[in-house]
Amino acid sequence: MSSNQPKKVYRYQLFSDLSVDALCHDQLYFANPTSFNDPLDCQPSVESDSNKAKLRLILAEQIKRRVEAETLSSLEGAKVTGDNAILHAKKVAEQAARNELAHIEYNATNPDYDNVEKAECWMLSFEIQSELLKQYDRGVCCFASTVDNPLLWSHYGDQHRGFCVGYNLDRKPKPELHKIVYGGTRTVHTSLIAKALLERDVISQKILDRDILLRKASPWRYEREWRLFGNRGLQDSPLALKDITFGLRCPTAVRHAIITALQSRPDEMDFYETYQVRGSFRLKKRPVDTGELNAYLPHTARSGVEIFAQKTMNKP
């Protein structure tokens, strides 16, 4: 586990039935990276620096691993397990790899290509990239390092009408957050993939993970992002929910609804509201006065007749 883990991270959100439901059930949503607002995120560009023989080995290994896992999963669903199932899955995977390599080799002989060798290497590299994306078929949950960033409130906190959830890592087992690396390129060389995949080199595998899942363009640096990886969809949170901070424009009724929904949690929760620092562009937070909030909400609407009739009835 990385030694520079943050003490706390934040998740900016808009107010919706889904966000409140996730809070009440202490869940986090792990998204498909293809749904991110940055279409270049988790989308590596494979560049070949290997010969044809090595490219064929890389692609064959990728296909065998994927197909074997898919076949075993299907067999388990049909209640078929054991050594025979494993042997069958391996045979299916090996045949799938042979078929794909033969298909690429044949297509490279198309007369439209000037150089058969180059055409085959290009096709192999393209398929390696495709398989790489399938291999990293994970859910991603994103967090920021700060709660007072005006840009993050605008971009992810419903233009300051939403809220920001604070988490720490005080859980057992302790979760591992991964820090985003800003800058560089999306290029992943086949020599790195070969070391990670064929030689099972641990350092190469970590570099590959970083370059695919943890590298973003420099303009995103303001987010100071950390990530959790897991199965896609709603999952029980591996982080400890500690506090909620409401945006500058967050409606009073939303504050009341969220505080009411969470204040009975067995673990103590803190609630804050953001405010502007006079004469600057900075934001700060302060504790919400829940007593004052509860004094006005929930409100019961009454007409003037009802109000004055009640006062008349109360006179001695």
CA distance 28 to 31: 9
Residue 63's pLDDT band, with cuts at 50, 70 and 90, is very high
Closest CA to 59 of 137, 136, 126: 126
Eight-class DSSP state of 108 = T
Q: Identify the weakest region by mean pLDDT among 201-215, 231-245, 248-262, 300-314.
A: 300-314
Residue 10's pLDDT band, with cuts at 50, 70 and 90, is very high
Closest CA to 208 of 44, 7, 22: 44
Is residue 1 scored above 50 in pLDDT? Answer: no
Tell me the three state secondary structure of residue 277.
coil
Mean pLDDT, rounded, of the chain: 92
Give 162-191 pLDDT, tens digit per residue: 999 999 999 999 999 999 999 999 999 999
For strand 215-216 and strand 181-182, is the pairing parallel, antiparallel, or unpaired?
A: parallel
Q: Whose structure tokens read 């000037």?
A: 114
Residue 314's pLDDT band, with cuts at 50, 70 and 90, is low
